[in-house]
Structure 1
Amino acid sequence: MLELYQFEMSQFSEKVRLILDYKGLAYRKIEVTPGIGQLDLYRLSGQRQVPVLKDGDTVIADSTAIAMYLDRKYPDKPLIPTDPHQRAQCLLMEEWADESIGVKSRKVFYGALSHNPSYRTSVLPKDTPDFFKTVLGGVPAEVFEVLGIGFGCSADALKDARDSLKQDLEALSLILSDRPYLVTDSPCLADFAVAGVSLLLKFPEGSYLDLPDSLNGKGIPGLADSSMYQTFFDWRDRLYAEYRTPLTTTGTSDSQPTSIEIE
């Protein structure tokens, strides 16, 4: 069985999970513990970032490289259009999603966590010890703000990211106002990339993640709840309903991530 080394809350892990479910491929999720688990991941893949896919003796790092590998190895339900213009649009939109929406949404998500202790603890996995939740929830917002400056998440950077995301979401809503998918009449890599990296802006409706049920459909105020972007988020939830396997359903993937086990 395919093994996906991941973080449950990783946008790029979610992009790969969407693709695996779309293709109907059975896989096991292996949660990588930040720090020590990433050192083990380095021994497996030569780098420390998730996602990493292991297919027998083959190890692939990076969500785009994984997508290309899966399309070559498992060609049913192809991810890349054959028409040259549609192929170009798909590849450009996938890269834009990763490098634009992916980066900016992490910034605004960090801002939401730093200013809202209850939201900060609610996004932790369901089995997180209460003691750790209490400690994390008690960290003053000022500490997160100071740390954020070092990660490019200053107040000005957060405002710029939010404003830019509004433009991105408006553009996506306009594209999807009269078509079922972003590039063609069937889903492609661009759709799964955009849907995956938008994870932190608004959690999907339904039991797809190891998070409290109360977070279903919740997201960044001013973005997730704005009627201006309803077309996009409705489309994204439809994509999930059609292709993503819920945790509570016996499907192609293990419902809950296991601990990291690297040979």
Structure 2
Amino acid sequence: MLELYQFELSQYSEKVRLILDYKGLEYRKIEVTPGVGQVELLQKSGSRQVPVLKDGSTYIADSTEIAFYLDRKYPEKPILPEDPLARGQCLLIEEWADESIGLKERKAFIGALNQNQSLRTAFLPQQTPDVLKSLVGAIPGQLLDVLGTGVGFGREAVKEANKGLKQDLEALCLILEKQPYLTGNTPNLADLTVAGLSIFLKFPEGSYLDIPSSLKGKGIPGLADNSSFDTFFAWRDLLYTEYRKGSSTPTTGNSAPTTISIE
């Protein structure tokens, strides 16, 4: 069985999970422990970044390389169009989404966590004591902004990320008003990439991700709750309904993520 080394709350891991589900491939999720687990992953695969796919004795790192590998090895349900124009558009959108939505969304989501106490505490493990939850929630958003400035997640960086994401979502809505998928009448890698990377914009409803139920349907204020982007989120949610399997489905192997060990 295919094995996916991942973080559950990684947009790029979700991109690969959606591709695997779309193709109907069985796989097992292996949750990588940040830090030590990434060192172990480096020893196994040559990469410390998730996602990494293991197929037999072959390791493939990087979500785009995984997508290309899966289409070569398991071509029954292709995600790359044969038509040259559609293929070119698909590859352009996939690369753009990785570098635009993927990166800006991360900054915008961290900014939302900084400013939203309930969103911030909802990400703590369920077994976290109430006292600690209260302490985390009580940290002033202004302090978190200051701390984030030094690593590229300050208030201005977050503001620019939100501005760019609004333009991205407007463009996607305009495309989807005229056709069912981003490059035509059939979903492909462009659609699966954009949909998978968008989880932080607004978490999908349903049991697709192992997250607290209170977070489902929630996301970045000003984006997730903006009616101007209803077309995009309706399209994304329909794609999930049709192709994404629930996180507890047997096709993912063990329902509870596990840490990795050296073989």
In the other structure, the counterpart of 1:53 is 53
Paired amino acid for 1:117: Q
Given that 1:24 and 1:252 are in contact with CA atoms closer than 8 Å, whether structure 2 keeps it comes out as no
In the other structure, the counterpart of 1:194 is 194
Change (3 A) 1:125 1:253: farther
In the other structure, the counterpart of 1:96 is 96
Change (3 A) 1:190 1:262: farther
In the other structure, the counterpart of 2:85 is 85
- Between the two proteins, the alignment pairs up a number of residues equal to 263
In the other structure, the counterpart of 2:111 is 111
In the other structure, the counterpart of 1:178 is 178
In the other structure, the counterpart of 2:22 is 22
RMSD between superposed Cα atoms in Å: 1.8
* Cα distance in structure 2, aligned partners of 1:228 and 1:74: 38
Paired amino acid for 2:238: R
Change (3 A) 1:31 1:135: farther
Paired amino acid for 1:183: T
Paired amino acid for 2:245: T
Secondary structure at 2:209's aligned position in 1? coil
Given that 1:15 and 1:192 are in contact with CA atoms closer than 8 Å, whether structure 2 keeps it comes out as yes
Alignment of structure 1 residues 220-239 onto 2, 5 Å: 220-239=220-239
Change (3 A) 1:30 1:249: closer
In the other structure, the counterpart of 2:40 is 40
Given that 1:101 and 1:197 are in contact with CA atoms closer than 8 Å, whether structure 2 keeps it comes out as yes
Alignment of structure 1 residues 81-160 onto 2, 5 Å: 81-124=81-124, 126=126, 133=133, 136-160=136-160
Residue 206 in structure 1 maps to residue 195 in structure 2: no
Q: Deviations over 1:34-83 (max 9, x none)?
A: 11111111111222111011111100110000000011111111010000
- Determine what percentage of the aligned residue pairs are the same residue: 65
In the other structure, the counterpart of 2:242 is 242
Q: Answer with 25-34 or 250-259: which moved more.
A: 250-259
**Cα drift, residue 253 of structure 1:** 4.8
Q: Deviations over 1:173-218 (max 9, x none)?
A: 1111121111131110000110111111100111111111121111
Secondary structure at 1:30's aligned position in 2? strand
TM-score computed with the length of structure 2 as normaliser: 0.94
**Cα drift, residue 11 of structure 1:** 0.3
* Cα distance in structure 2, aligned partners of 1:103 and 1:75: 30
Residue 3 in structure 1 maps to residue 3 in structure 2: yes
In the other structure, the counterpart of 1:62 is 62
Residue 161 in structure 1 maps to residue 161 in structure 2: yes
Q: Answer with 108-117 or 232-241: which moved more.
A: 108-117
Q: Deviations over 1:2-31 (max 9, x none)?
A: 111111110000000000011111111111
Change (3 A) 1:135 1:37: farther
Q: Answer with 114-123 or 167-176: which moved more.
A: 114-123
**Cα drift, residue 140 of structure 1:** 3.6
**Cα drift, residue 251 of structure 1:** 3.9
* Cα distance in structure 2, aligned partners of 1:254 and 1:127: 21
Secondary structure at 2:29's aligned position in 1? strand
Unaligned runs of at least 5 residues, structure 2 = none
In the other structure, the counterpart of 1:76 is 76
Secondary structure at 2:145's aligned position in 1? helix
